[in-house]
Amino acid sequence: MRTITYREALREAMREEMLRDERVIVIGEDIDGYGGTYAVTKGLAEEFGRERVRDTPLAEEVIVGTAVGAAMAGMRPVAELMTMNFALLASDQIVNTAAKVRYMFGGQTHVPLVIRMPAGGGAQRGAQHSQTLESWFAHVPGLKVVMPATPYDAKGMLKAAIRDADPVLLIEHELLYGIKGEVPDEGVEYTVPLDRGEIKREGRDVSLITFSRGVHLSLQAAEELAKEGIEAEVVDMRSIRPVDLDLALDSVKKTNRAVVVEEGWKYFGTGQGFAALIYEYGFDDLDAPIGHVTGVDVPAPYAKNLEKAAFPVRNDIIDAVKRIVPQRAVR
């Protein structure tokens, strides 16, 4: 194992899949010499040529529409959008075409398409560039939506997504590109399932149900809580659709308490969906109401001090845990 960044892990995944399968192509804005918004595709055009790594106009509906057509014609495109916020411009292509073609044609054609996009706040991008809208797309049958939190998962899930027969949205929090983590050496083949979560930290007193950057905040909170004798289990859901509900339910059965942690808005979002499923299928295992840590229900502010107040931090998770874990539960 070696230590690399999240950005490097994504690049390696694309490079390995392009070497393995000549049908894999990459398209997006400024992905050639510039390497895309976060330099994830840097160097791929020089290695594979500009037939397989194609710059596009600033037009998300064109990027995704082209990728859908290429996928239906037998290619395996990886489309990069500059930010998830701009995916709304391509929502018709994503929701009404990519997600539905296989069903509408009775399985005669597939759309093996990956759409990569950064999301999230915390870097002063302002209200129109700091959103996590995964719940919008996860609501749609026919789409798979994944949000890896670590370099290991980012590489493994992107490789699995490229090989999948259906459209996959791979959402990358923009504050994670520089984080480092252990990844197998180049040449060591592995993938990460698109329908399974993972326990990132074992615990006994409360389950922190989370994903993406929330995993890192939850791990930090768990370390602090452990100093006070509260052992929190960190459950990285990793896949938003399909959801690994059994993983969450098994954790709650062990701890009898849960706090859902996410960056997005509270109402009608991913966290409320997770909480509703746990209430529906795991109610008898709960000894307290499910806690919910979210971003503030406002458009993301640009001013740094206001932005900091708008997104959850480690102490918000600690406070939420202490509200539902009584002193008697600490052993």
Read off the pLDDT of residues 132-182 as tens digits, 9 standing for 90 and up: 999 999 999 999 999 999 999 999 999 999 999 999 999 999 999 999 999
Q: Do domains 2-183 and 198-324 have the same CATH topology?
A: yes
Where does the pLDDT of residue 331 fall: very low under 50, low under 70, confident under 90, or very high at 90 and above? low
Which residue would you say has higher pLDDT here, 328 or 93?
Answer: 93
Residue 186 pLDDT: 87
| Candidates 12, 29, 129, 262; catalytic one | 129
Spatial distance between the Cα atoms of 260 and 275, rounded to a whole number of angstroms? 7
As given in the structure block, the two tokens for residue 201 are 């930290």
Residue 79 confidence (pLDDT) above 90: yes
Q: For residue 326, what are the CA distances in angstroms to 5, 57, 110, 285, 331?
A: 39, 56, 51, 16, 11
Q: Is the pTM of this model over 0.85?
A: yes
As given in the structure block, the two tokens for residue 302 are 């640009």
- Between the CA atoms of 61, 299, 37 and 110, what dihedral angle is there, to the nearest 10 degrees? -40
DSSP label at 185? P
8 Å CB contact between 133 and 265 = no
The mean per-residue pLDDT over the stretch 51-64 comes to 96
Cα four-point dihedral sign 315, 320, 325, 326: positive
Looking at the DSSP bridge assignments, the partners of residue 150 are: none
**% of the chain with per-residue pLDDT over 70:** 98
| Candidates 8, 29, 60, 307; catalytic one | 60
Residue 326 confidence (pLDDT) above 90: no
Spatial distance between the Cα atoms of 222 and 100, rounded to a whole number of angstroms? 41
Residue 283 confidence (pLDDT) above 60: yes
Q: How many CA atoms lie within 13 A of 136 on its CB side?
A: 15
- 96-126: pLDDT as tens digits: 999 999 999 999 999 999 999 999 999 999 9
Instruction: Classify burial at 2, counting beta carbons within 10 Å of its beta carbon; exposed 0-12, middle 13-18, buried 19 or more.
Output: exposed
As given in the structure block, the two tokens for residue 181 are 């983590």
139 in catalytic set: no
Q: Where exactly are the structural domains of the chain?
A: 2-183, 198-324
Q: For residue 19, what are the CA distances in angstroms to 13, 27, 47?
A: 10, 16, 10
Where does the pLDDT of residue 329 fall: very low under 50, low under 70, confident under 90, or very high at 90 and above? very low
The mean per-residue pLDDT over the stretch 291-306 comes to 96
Domain at 2-183: CATH code: 3.40.50.970
Mean pLDDT (the chain, rounded):
96
Residue 45 confidence (pLDDT) above 90: yes
Which three-class secondary structure string do you get for 197-255?
CEEEECCCCEEEEECCHHHHHHHHHHHHHHCCCCCEEEEECCEEECCCHHHHHHHHHHH
Radius of gyration of the chain (CA): 20
60 in catalytic set: yes
Residue 134 pLDDT: 97
As given in the structure block, the two tokens for residue 318 are 């600690």
Mean pLDDT is lowest, of 22-26, 248-252, 325-329, for 325-329
**% of the chain with per-residue pLDDT over 90:** 96
Domain 198-324 classification at class level: alpha beta
Residue 33 pLDDT: 80
- 251-266: pLDDT as tens digits: 999 999 999 999 999 9
SS3 300: coil
